[in-house]
């Protein structure tokens, strides 16, 4: 009921006499059910009243909510509003948007027309995605990256694979890669080659055309790992203290910093992945490979604290969810945002402004504490030992483990 969540009798009267009156009680209960805090519900309802007042003055009725919503957005964009005056503002538009979504969720208003997806516009992309999932074991995250490149390919040279030429494919790769660095350029080549290989295997174009797409040269192990020193990692973890979302963010950052998990792996973590009896955690990494890692005491304690005191009661299998309503499982981007916020609070200028800097930092920290390259590779779940060898460059003593003697000369 409206009276339960809104103290102002004036605002209640405005809402009960406006175009939203028939649904305002159900809307208020819906906000409470979806985890909105009392202060957020109060602000939303006050802002919504500004919108319904505007609808009345402009002649919109309860049957004109969608046109009224669009008209109000346009009016706020075009009209100069006097500060502190009564009337709709950007908060009113946000509140009205939540109210519109509620009515659509309840079937009172038609759902918005969503633009056609890439797979609907180009069915071959959907078929390629299913083929890669089945035969190559790629993750959805990787295929999303591929799709961004392939949409550009189809927009540029069309979707008739029989008309593809090696010249057109090479020209697209060069043009697409020109503004980017070497790593992004290499990922563009991989995406296009994979797609053209799929077209050849399925008989849509002559087989072998993928070999006409050139690669971009880069020396193996030529770069230096970008990481944070141990003191800075502890500052990032410590920045969660007294923060409003302390328990969740600290658990997330510890998983990244102590176990070297990727952002997507933290976001996908489920209750069933943690074995409290054996003190282990199951991680689904690249190639959808399920692997088990030990769960350190510090990390386990942080997760338990979050579950007991910080996690809202949302019935989903995912471990980490958003801290503000509407509640939903965290995404990879949300995990990255958590790390960026922690870096900012700690006052650290990181070489990588995202979650992956903690994975690099975990690897270099383990090596400096005496772990072997093979042990670090096992924790980070590297398939190629040379990937782990990349981290040995942070300590010249560790380079002796992989250095090869010059032919004809005894080793140092």
CA 36 to chain centre: 22
Q: Look at residue 335 and tell me whether its pLDDT is greater than 90.
A: yes
Q: 286, 344, 368, 393: which is the annotated catalytic residue?
A: 286
Q: 176, 248, 359, 360: which is the annotated catalytic residue?
A: 359
Mean pLDDT for 149-162 is: 94
Q: What is the pLDDT of residues 232-291, one digit of tens each?
A: 999 999 999 888 889 999 999 999 999 999 999 999 999 999 999 999 999 987 767 788
Q: 193, 356, 360, 390: which is the annotated catalytic residue?
A: 356
Is residue 282 within 8 A of residue 290, CB to CB? The reply is yes
Q: 262, 311, 360, 390: which is the annotated catalytic residue?
A: 262
**Distance, CA of 6 to CA of 44 (rounded, Å):** 10
Amino acid 400: pLDDT: 61
Q: Look at residue 2 and tell me whether its pLDDT is greater than 60.
A: yes
Q: 197, 248, 382, 390: which is the annotated catalytic residue?
A: 382
Q: What is the pLDDT of residues 188-239, one digit of tens each?
A: 999 999 999 999 999 999 999 999 898 888 766 666 678 888 899 999 999 9
Is residue 355 within 8 A of residue 320, CB to CB? The reply is no
Q: Look at residue 84 and tell me whether its pLDDT is greater than 60.
A: no
Residue 286 annotated among the catalytic residues of the structure? yes
Residue 90 annotated among the catalytic residues of the structure? no
Supply angle C-alpha 267, 271, 277, rounded to 5. 130
Amino acid 25: pLDDT: 92
Residues in Cβ contact with 329 at an 8 Å cutoff, skipping those fewer than 6 apart: 267, 316, 318, 320, 321, 322
Amino acid 403: pLDDT: 62
Residue 359 annotated among the catalytic residues of the structure? yes
Q: List Cβ<8 Å contacts ≥24 apart for 139-144.
A: 139/264, 139/286, 139/287, 139/288, 141/264, 141/332, 142/286
Q: What is the pLDDT of residues 172-185, one digit of tens each?
A: 999 999 999 888 99
3-state secondary structure of 255: helix
Cα 286 to Cα 44, 46, 215, 283: the distances in Å are 42, 47, 22, 10
What band does 318 get if pLDDT is binned at 50, 70 and 90?
Answer: very high
């Amino acid at each position: 009921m409206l009276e339960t969540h809104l103290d102002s009798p004036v605002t209640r009267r405005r809402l009960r006499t406006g175009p939203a009156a028939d649904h305002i009680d159900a809307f208020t209960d819906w906000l409470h059910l979806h985890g909105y805090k009392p202060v957020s519900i109060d602000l939303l309802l006050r802002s919504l009243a500004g919108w319904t007042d505007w609808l009345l003055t402009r002649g919109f009725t309860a049957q004109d909510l969608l046109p009224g919503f669009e008209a109000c957005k346009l009016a706020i964009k075009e009209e100069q509003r006097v500060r502190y005056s009564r009337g709709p503002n950007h908060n009113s538009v946000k509140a009205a948007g939540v109210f519109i979504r509620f009515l659509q969720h309840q079937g009172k208003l038609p759902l918005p027309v969503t633009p056609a997806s890439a797979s609907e516009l180009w069915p071959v992309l959907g078929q390629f995605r299913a083929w890669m999932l089945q035969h190559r074991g790629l993750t959805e995250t990787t295929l999303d990256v591929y799709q961004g490149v392939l949409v550009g390919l189809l927009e540029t040279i069309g979707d008739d694979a029989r008309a593809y030429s090696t010249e057109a494919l090479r020209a697209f790769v060069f043009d697409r890669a020109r503004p980017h660095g070497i790593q992004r350029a290499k990922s563009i080549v991989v995406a296009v080659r994979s797609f053209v290989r799929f077209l050849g295997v399925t008989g849509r174009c002559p087989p072998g055309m993928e070999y006409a797409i050139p690669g971009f040269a880069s020396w193996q192990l030529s770069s230096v790992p970008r990481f944070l020193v141990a003191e800075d990692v502890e500052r990032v973890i410590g920045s969660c203290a007294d923060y409003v979302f302390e328990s969740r963010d600290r658990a997330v950052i510890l998983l990244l910093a102590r176990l070297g998990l990727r952002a997507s792996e933290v976001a996908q973590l489920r209750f069933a992945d943690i074995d409290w009896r054996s003190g282990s955690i199951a991680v689904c990494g690249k190639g959808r490979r399920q692997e088990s890692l030990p769960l350190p005491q510090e990390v386990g304690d942080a997760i338990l604290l979050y579950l007991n005191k910080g996690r809202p009661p949302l019935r989903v299998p995912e471990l980490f969810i958003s801290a503000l309503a509407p509640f939903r499982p965290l995404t990879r981007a949300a995990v990255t945002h958590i790390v960026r916020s922690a870096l900012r609070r700690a006052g650290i200028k990181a070489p990588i402004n995202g979650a992956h800097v903690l994975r690099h930092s975990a690897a270099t920290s383990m090596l400096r504490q005496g772990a072997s390259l093979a042990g670090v590779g096992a924790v980070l779940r590297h398939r190629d030992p040379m990937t782990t060898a990349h981290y040995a460059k942070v300590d010249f003593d560790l380079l002796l483990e992989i250095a090869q003697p010059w032919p004809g000369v005894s080793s140092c």
